[in-house]
Chains A and B, each alone.
Chain A
Amino acid sequence: DIHMIQSPSSVSASVGDKVIITCLASQRIGNYLAWYQQKPGKGPKLLIYAASSLLNGVPSRFSGGGSETAFILTISNVQPEDVATYYCQQGQNFPITFGQGTRLEI
């Protein structure tokens, strides 16, 4: 199985800050990497697919980068509504696997 390791596990930021979340894959996965946002009590929402493609309707302060084994999610100009847990997910191989999550607090 491909293991996905996220860091940090939690981060505290102020409104307007830039936050960077890292996701490392245990094997090369090309750009088969997605990022999700999950707010308490809700289902996850896709933010970014193919490592760096922003889903329609997602604010442009979210961006993704990286390839193969190292990926980042950047949230520029953090807003109060960004409080959530963020997950990375690889789709290169079965089983599909997720990172353990990064909790963002404001």
Chain B
Amino acid sequence: EVQLVESGGGLVQPGGSLRLSCAASGFMFSSYWMSWVRQAPGEGLEWVANIKQDGSEKYYADSVKGRFTFSRDNAKSLLSLQMNSLRVEDTAVYYCASLTGDAFDFWGQGTMVTVSS
């Protein structure tokens, strides 16, 4: 069974940092592009970032470019999202997801990030 389990969310002040993790199991993790997608409270879905199977290519939404860094450890089947210079508008549930072709085929349950003073 495919499982994606996010962790690391919490409350942080504006300008602060947070590191999210996503533990993957049940599939050939190293063969998949992986992604982060977020959802602000009561709002729709917003794509955040993609990373290639070997980590050699990364793509970011303009809203997070230069502040967020996406990485992966294929040996541990682990994703990380380092979030710096956090803003109030980064408040959201953050989901990790696997990407097959152009669709997100499996999703985690999400981890909540709240940026507030």
A residues apposed to B, CB below 8 Å: 32, 34, 36, 38, 42-46, 49-50, 55, 87, 89-92, 94-101
What 7 pairs between A and B have smallest CB-CB spacing?
A91-B102, A43-B107, A34-B103, A49-B103, A96-B47, A98-B45, A32-B102
Q: Are B109 and A101 in contact, CB atoms less than 8 angstroms apart?
A: no
Given the complex of chains A and B, what is the CA–CA distance between A32 and B101 in angstroms? 9
Given the complex of chains A and B, what is the CA–CA distance between A46 and B110 in angstroms? 15
* Count of inter-chain pairs, beta carbons less than 8 A: 58
Which residues from A are CB-within-8-Å of B47?
A: 95-98
Q: Which residue of A lies closest to B46 (CB)?
A: A98
Which residues from A are CB-within-8-Å of B108?
A: 43
Which residues from A are CB-within-8-Å of B37?
A: 44
CB distance from B62 to the nearest CB of A (A): 7
Which residues from B are CB-within-8-Å of A45?
A: 107
CB distance from B35 to the nearest CB of A (A): 8
In residues 33-68 of chain B, which contact A (Cβ within 8 Å)? 37, 44-47, 50, 59, 61-62
Can you show 16 pairs from A to B with CB atoms below 8 A apart?
A34-B104, A38-B45, A43-B97, A43-B107, A43-B109, A44-B45, A44-B107, A46-B103, A49-B101, A50-B103, A89-B45, A95-B47, A95-B61, A96-B47, A96-B102, A100-B44
Q: Does B1 contact A (CB under 8 A)?
A: no
Q: Are B110 and A43 in contact, CB atoms less than 8 angstroms apart?
A: yes
Given the complex of chains A and B, what is the CA–CA distance between A42 and B93 in angstroms? 10
Q: Does B29 contact A (CB under 8 A)?
A: no
Which residues from A are CB-within-8-Å of B105?
A: 46, 49, 55
Q: Does B70 contact A (CB under 8 A)?
A: no
A interface footprint on B80-106 (CB within 8 Å = 1, 0 otherwise): 000000000000000101001111111
Given the complex of chains A and B, what is the CA–CA distance between A36 and B46 in angstroms? 13
Given the complex of chains A and B, what is the CA–CA distance between A43 and B95 in angstroms? 7
Given the complex of chains A and B, what is the CA–CA distance between A88 and B102 in angstroms? 12
